[in-house]
Amino acid sequence: MTIDNNQRLFERARTVIPGGVNSPVRAFKAVGGTPRFITRAQGAYFWDANDQRYIDYIGSWGPMILGHGHPAVVEAVQKAVTEGFSYGAPTEREIELAEAILALVPSMEMVRLVSSGTEAAMSALRLARGATGRKHIIKFEGCYHGHADALLVKAGSGLATFGHPTSGGVPPEAVQHTIVLEYNNVAQLEEAFALHGNDMACLMIEAIAGNMNFVRATPEFARRCRELCTQHGALLVFDEVMTGFRVGLHGAQGVLGITPDLTVLGKVIGGGMPLAAFGGPRAIMEQLAPIGAVYQAGTLSGNPVATACGLATLTEIAKPGFYEALSAKTRTLVEGLKSAADAEGVPFSVASEGGMFGFFLFDELPQNYATVMTTDNARFNTLFHGLLDRGVYIAPALYEAGFVSAAHSDADIAATIEAARQIFKTLAA
Ligand code: PLP
């Protein structure tokens, strides 16, 4: 009998790491089975502990937009490593990365670098409260902004009421100022502002949501978010940790043509290293310490190796034609999947923007979290495991978006569609 090295590692991991993983979705809890333990990655592929190769549509949950091991990025990181890992003092490279980000995101006049999307969203929230002197915040069901207490919250019982904690360890008091609304529901949004607009610090949103699979804010909903914030003196915060430099060179704000007050970035700006950021107009950003009264700090913030990785990544994605090629590739994938599903009579809908995509096992694209969650788990799991068995790795949960990189070849896309076609036959039966 052959030894399953993934299983062996999973058992070992579970004795020393809670659930065997350092971030919950990696554990395959939603889909069942054994998580793959990855040993190496190159281009569009990674290999597990059994030396099985997978076409990777997770890309480290978004950052690996160039694919794994891009030569220019590897070279920049190798050089940076020889110069020292971390100084705890400022570097020129931090300025270069800040300048590169600001040049691509016109709504931002200043940026602060941090180490994770959670940290960036949490800091943006504190800054919004500090800058406005207000308490309340709006977030939307199905949007994820990292695991800061005030953002781990589900909707309250009534319309536009305050939420309840979704995690143990979060006291109700920590979420008592968080209002959770339904995504794309303009009436609820208007009601929340009518009731609480005077004390609203900010509205935080994934304007193209990637944490309930892939759901776009409708143009009207996005426009009303902007208008109501302006009208009530609240800050509009776009969480672009996932969409920033992923759906296009100017993020979801570029796609939607909406200018937020604050932007939260992560994932792609670090190219796979721990790096994230938040930024906005100078007048707001200068309320941060050491100039202003809003405290925020980090031992590893602006880390020299991470910034080298981020800068090299941004240099590559800013090259002419990058997003046109990436978008075309992603469209080929989702349209191919849709045709294959249609041919077998399997209800299926798809969406993509830039290098980010989603698909649903029903005909209509959903507009909110509740509809996404009506997906038949068993059918999704059949698709997930069928693809995995055929060497295609998609997110092990139906509420996650997928990511295509510049390294995915036409042959990879064709192989993925062919693998899905075989599974659609069983789903149709
Ligand atoms: N915001 C969004 C939109 C995200 O997708 C994520 C992570 O997936 C986060 C924030 C949190 O980022 P991190 O996992 O780096 O803390």
The verdict on 126 and 258 lying in the same domain is yes
The verdict on 313 and 324 lying in the same domain is no
The verdict on 102 and 227 lying in the same domain is yes
Contact 230, 164 (CB under 8 A): no
Question: pLDDT above 70 covers what percent of the chain?
Answer: 98
Measured in angstroms, how far is the CA atom of residue 214 from the centroid of ligand 1?
Answer: 15
The last residue of one of the domains, among 265, 285, 317, is 317
Q: Report residue 235 as tokens.
A: 């800050």
The last residue of one of the domains, among 269, 294, 317, is 317
Interval 416-426: pLDDT, tens? 999 999 999 99
Measured in angstroms, how far is the CA atom of residue 239 from the centroid of ligand 1?
Answer: 9
Contact 161, 173 (CB under 8 A): no
Provide the 10 A C-beta neighbour count for residue 269.
Answer: 31
Residue with CA closest to ligand 1 atom 13: 117
Burial class (CB in 10 A: 0-12, 13-18, 19+), 280: buried
Residue type, 183: Y
Q: To test ligand 1's pocket by mutation, which of 242, 265, 278 has the most ligand atoms within 8 angstroms of CB?
A: 242
Helix, strand, or coil (residue 295) = coil
For residue 159, pLDDT over 70 is answered with: no
Q: To test ligand 1's pocket by mutation, which of 267, 269, 369 has the most ligand atoms within 8 angstroms of CB?
A: 267
Residue with CA closest to ligand 1 atom 1: 145
For residue 157, pLDDT over 90 is answered with: no
The last residue of one of the domains, among 282, 317, 352, is 317
Query: What was the pLDDT predicted at 3?
Result: 84
Active site residue 48: no
The verdict on 223 and 371 lying in the same domain is no
- CA 355, CA 401: separation in Å to the nearest integer? 10
Measured in angstroms, how far is the CA atom of residue 144 from the centroid of ligand 1?
Answer: 7
Residue with CA closest to ligand 1 atom 5: 242
Q: Report residue 262 as tokens.
A: 């604050």
Residue type, 44: A
Interval 33-74: pLDDT, tens? 999 999 999 999 999 999 999 999 999 999 999 999 999 999
The verdict on 63 and 75 lying in the same domain is no
264 Cα nearest atom in ligand 1: 1
Domain interval for residue 39: 5-69+320-428
Which CATH number characterizes residue 12's domain? Answer: 3.90.1150.10
Query: What was the pLDDT predicted at 2?
Result: 73
Measured in angstroms, how far is the CA atom of residue 370 from the centroid of ligand 1?
Answer: 21
Query: What was the pLDDT predicted at 160?
Result: 58
Measured in angstroms, how far is the CA atom of residue 127 from the centroid of ligand 1?
Answer: 18
The verdict on 295 and 424 lying in the same domain is no
Q: To test ligand 1's pocket by mutation, which of 114, 144, 214, 278 has the most ligand atoms within 8 angstroms of CB?
A: 144
The verdict on 308 and 343 lying in the same domain is no
- Catalytic residue, from 48, 57, 183, 239: name it: 239
Question: H/E element holding 204?
Answer: strand 200-205
Question: pLDDT above 90 covers what percent of the chain?
Answer: 96
Degrees (nearest 5) of the Cα angle 145, 149, 154?
Answer: 70
- Catalytic residue, from 144, 323, 369, 393: name it: 144
Measured in angstroms, how far is the CA atom of residue 146 from the centroid of ligand 1?
Answer: 5
**Domain total for the chain?**
2
The pTM score is 0.97
The verdict on 247 and 261 lying in the same domain is yes
Helix, strand, or coil (residue 318) = coil
Calculate mean pLDDT across residues 300-309.
98
Query: What was the pLDDT predicted at 165?
Result: 87
Respond yes or no on whether the N-terminal peptide bond of residue 165 is cis (omega within 30° of 0): no
Question: Could you tell me the CA-to-CA distances from 110 to 1, 97, 105, 228, 409 in Å, in that order?
Answer: 59, 11, 10, 24, 37
Calculate mean pLDDT across residues 338-356.
97
Active site residue 144: yes
For residue 329, pLDDT over 60 is answered with: yes
Calculate mean pLDDT across residues 385-413.
97
For residue 287, pLDDT over 70 is answered with: yes
Question: Could you tell me the CA-to-CA distances from 359 to 58, 211, 272, 282 in Å, in that order?
Answer: 14, 13, 25, 39
b or e along 200-236 (b: 16 or more beta carbons within 10 Å of the residue's beta carbon)? Answer: bbbbbbbbbbbbbbbbbbeeebbebbbebbeebebbb
Q: Report residue 32 as tokens.
A: 């069942």
Active site residue 295: no
Calculate mean pLDDT across residues 332-352.
97
Degrees (nearest 5) of the Cα angle 196, 368, 239?
Answer: 65
- CA 380, CA 398: separation in Å to the nearest integer? 7
- Catalytic residue, from 45, 48, 267, 399: name it: 267
For residue 325, pLDDT over 60 is answered with: yes
The verdict on 284 and 373 lying in the same domain is no
- CA 362, CA 314: separation in Å to the nearest integer? 36
The verdict on 37 and 179 lying in the same domain is no
| Token pair 């294959």 in the structure block, residue | 340
Least Cα distance to 402 among 250, 247, 292, 291 occurs for 247
The verdict on 382 and 237 lying in the same domain is no
The verdict on 279 and 294 lying in the same domain is yes
Least Cα distance to 397 among 422, 370, 371, 372 occurs for 372
Interval 170-208: pLDDT, tens? 999 999 999 999 999 999 999 999 999 999 999 999 999
Residue type, 151: L
Interval 114-152: pLDDT, tens? 999 999 999 999 999 999 999 999 999 999 999 999 999
Question: Could you tell me the CA-to-CA distances from 200 to 47, 137, 236 in Å, in that order?
Answer: 48, 6, 10
Which residues fall within 8 angstroms of residue 362, CB to CB, at 6 or more apart? 347, 348, 349, 374, 375
For residue 429, pLDDT over 80 is answered with: no
| Main-chain dihedrals φ then ψ at residue 138, nearest 5 degrees | -110, 135
Interval 370-397: pLDDT, tens? 999 999 999 999 999 999 999 999 999 9
Which residues approach ligand 1 with their CB closer than 6 A? 61, 116-118, 121, 144-146, 206, 210-211, 239, 241-242, 266, 276
- CA 348, CA 284: separation in Å to the nearest integer? 44
Which CATH number characterizes residue 221's domain? Answer: 3.40.640.10
| Main-chain dihedrals φ then ψ at residue 286, nearest 5 degrees | -75, 5
